[in-house]
Structures are given as C-alpha cells and as structure tokens.
Amino acid sequence: MLKNPFYYGTFRFNGELYEGSHEPIISKKLFDNVQQVMNNRGKKKRKRKHEFAFSGFMRCGKCGCLITAETQKGHIYYRCTKKKQTCNEKYLREEALVEQMKSVIQKVSIPDDWADNMLAELDREKTSIQNEGVAFVQNLKSRKAEVEQKIDRLLDIYIEGKGISPDEYQTKKAKLLNEKADIEQEIRDFEQKGNNWLEPMREVILLSSQAKILLSQGDKT
C-alpha cells in the first residue's frame, strides 16, 4: 500500500501511470523518502530507556567521542562513550555540566547595539531573498509548463502511431509525470519554507544578546 503513487497525486491503471485530479494526500518528497526507507531497512534501533537533556549531541572535548548519560543514586551523570580510544575523562554531574555551559554562553553574548545591527542586516537579506524567490518560482513554473508540453507532444506522437510502442510510451510518460511532480514539490517546498532558514540565525542573535540576562534570571530562581 505504501508503494501506491495515488498518495502523491497520480494513479496506475492497466500498468500505465496517470496524473490524477485528486488532491495529493502526501507530498511527492515524502513518498520518495518512504520508498527509500523501505528499500534500506536495516537493524532495528534499540529504544533508550531514559531521555537525557544533553545526551546524543555533545562530544568529549578530549577524544571527540559522543557523550552519554546515566542515572546513579538519584543524580544524572555524563561521561564519554570511549568508543574510539582510551579516554581518561571522568564522570560529570549534570549540574556541573550546566555551569560549564553557562560559562560558554556568557563568553558568546553580544552587546545590544551589535545585535540590532545584525538583525537589521538579516531584514535586508530577507527582502533580497524574497525578490529573488519570485524569479526562482517563476523559473520552476516555466520548467513545469515545458514538461506539460512534452507530455502533450508525447501523447500526440503515440496517438498518431509515429513509431512509439505502448511500453515506450508508458515509460516516457511515467518519467515526465515524475519530473512534473518533483517540480511541483519543489515549488511547494520553497513557498512553505521561503526564507525561514534565516529565523534560526535570528534566534541565535537574540539568544546571544540576552544570554547574560537569562543566566542571571536563572541564578535567582
């Protein structure tokens, strides 16, 4: 069932792929990702019994291995996984790790006037990207129109019997429909995401400018 192209807007009838008039249930991108996952199934991942705040994305400063965590006597301890080599780094309680992180955050905090200038530059970049985005989407729509013309020409050639077999017709048509679906997905992705990639940078600037305030408030609680 998960291999049925009906979910992203096309359907298969008598072995031939057709473009449907129904609203896609899922995106073409998601459908392709599902197919890839199904084709590359590996070993089942072991579920972790506990979730720790900093486990899985921090690395040991000495050997570079990932940091893991465990609970001992009611306290959370972090340690190096030591998977690459022998490492002499000892266990570290979560409270001590938080203090180290506070120290780092204080070092990267930026003055308010710097933050204002950086945010203003981001706004200018956002406007520029929006203008470029209009041209980008228009180019995608032009490509989509070209593919649609190819589909129409292919059908005319097939109907007129100009030396194209049914199998060859179906293969070429399916390829063009997939190309069209990919372009449509690219348009939707851009319209949904747009310049949202700037927002994480904006959040970093705001966090950096407010770091000392947040830490001082945290010490009072």
DSSP string across 72-119 = ETTEEEEEE---SS------EEHHHHHHHHHHHHHHH---HHHHHHHH
| pLDDT reading at 221 higher than 50 | no
Please report whether residue 89 resides in a domain: yes
Clarify whether residues 140 and 201 are in a common domain.
Answer: yes
Sign of the four-CA dihedral 132, 133, 138, 139: positive
| pLDDT reading at 114 higher than 80 | yes
Clarify whether residues 198 and 165 are in a common domain.
Answer: yes
Q: What span, in angstroms and rounded, lies between the C-alpha atoms of 53 and 94?
A: 9
Q: Which of 93, 119, 147 is the last residue of a domain?
A: 93
Clarify whether residues 83 and 163 are in a common domain.
Answer: no
Check residue 164 and report its DSSP letter.
-
Cα 202 off chain centre by: 18
**8-22, 62-76, 162-176, 192-206: least confident range:** 8-22
> In this predicted structure, what is the pLDDT of residue 15?
59
User: Which is more confident, 29 or 215?
Assistant: 29
Whole-model pTM: value is: 0.40
| pLDDT reading at 217 higher than 60 | no
| pLDDT reading at 200 higher than 90 | no
Q: What is the mean pLDDT of residues 20-49?
A: 59
Token couple for 177: 């429909």
Q: What span, in angstroms and rounded, lies between the C-alpha atoms of 11 and 138?
A: 27
Clarify whether residues 209 and 161 are in a common domain.
Answer: yes
Clarify whether residues 141 and 187 are in a common domain.
Answer: yes
Q: What span, in angstroms and rounded, lies between the C-alpha atoms of 97 and 68?
A: 13
Residue 8 confidence class, pLDDT cut points 50, 70, 90: low
**5-19, 66-80, 156-170: least confident range:** 5-19
Q: What is the mean pLDDT of residues 85-106?
A: 79
| Count of domains observed in the chain | 2
Clarify whether residues 121 and 190 are in a common domain.
Answer: yes
Please report whether residue 26 resides in a domain: no
Please report whether residue 74 resides in a domain: yes
Domain interval for residue 141: 111-215
Q: Strand pairing partners for 10?
A: 19
pLDDT tens per residue, range 119-145? 888 888 888 877 788 888 899 999 999
> In this predicted structure, what is the pLDDT of residue 214?
54
Token couple for 11: 């359907």
Clarify whether residues 148 and 203 are in a common domain.
Answer: yes
Q: Which of 66, 93, 120 is the last residue of a domain?
A: 93
Please report whether residue 14 resides in a domain: no
